[in-house]
Amino acid sequence: MGKSNTAPLNGKQVTVRELTMQEINDLTNRPPDETAVEQIGAMLAVCTNTTPEEIMKSFPSDLDPLVEVLVEVNRPFLDQAAKINAREVAEALEQLLRSVCLIAFTKSSQPDTVKEPGNIPTPIS
């Protein structure tokens, strides 16, 4: 049985579990045209008992404990990959785990926008 731990998120405890080798393989080999939000949604569906929607409602500072636990419970793989010179795999997975904060921050800090000709976002009035 893999490692697990909990982290607070929006007033409740979220359980985070260690990924299996198959899940790591699946997460690091997602389609190249998939958005970061889709990647994060896939990861959260696999290793937590929360939803991407719950993450998107969070403030970036609220996600710090969750991200730390994600990395903590998956540290054995990250360390093993580094030992066998598979640093790119370890770095890719750790980046995916940590990008939860970046995606939530980006979504929570941008005003609603409409794309005008020339792909320049314009705030909605």
Q: Based on the structure, what is the number of domains in the chain?
A: 1
pLDDT attached to residue 18: 93
Q: Mean pLDDT in the chain?
A: 75
**What pLDDT does 8 receive?**
93
Q: What number is the average pLDDT over the span 41-58?
A: 79
- For the entire predicted model, the pTM comes to 0.63
Question: Domain range holding 77?
Answer: 4-123
What average pLDDT does this structure show over 58-65? 80
pLDDT for residue 102: 59
DSSP reduced 3-state for 43: helix
Q: Where are the alpha helices (DSSP H) in 29-86?
A: 36-47, 52-56, 60-73, 75-83
**Predicted confidence (pLDDT) per residue in 65-101, tens digit:** 888 898 899 888 888 877 776 677 777 777 777 765 5
Under a CB-based contact definition with an 8 Å cutoff, are residues 70 and 16 in contact?
yes
Residue 103 is predicted with a pLDDT of 56
Query: What residues form DSSP beta bridges with 48?
Result: 16
Indicate the pLDDT class of residue 26, thresholds 50, 70 and 90.
Answer: confident
| 56-87 as b/e: b if 16+ CB within 10 A | eebebebbebbbebbebbbeebbeebeeeeee
Among residues 13, 1, 3, which one has the least CA distance to residue 66? 13
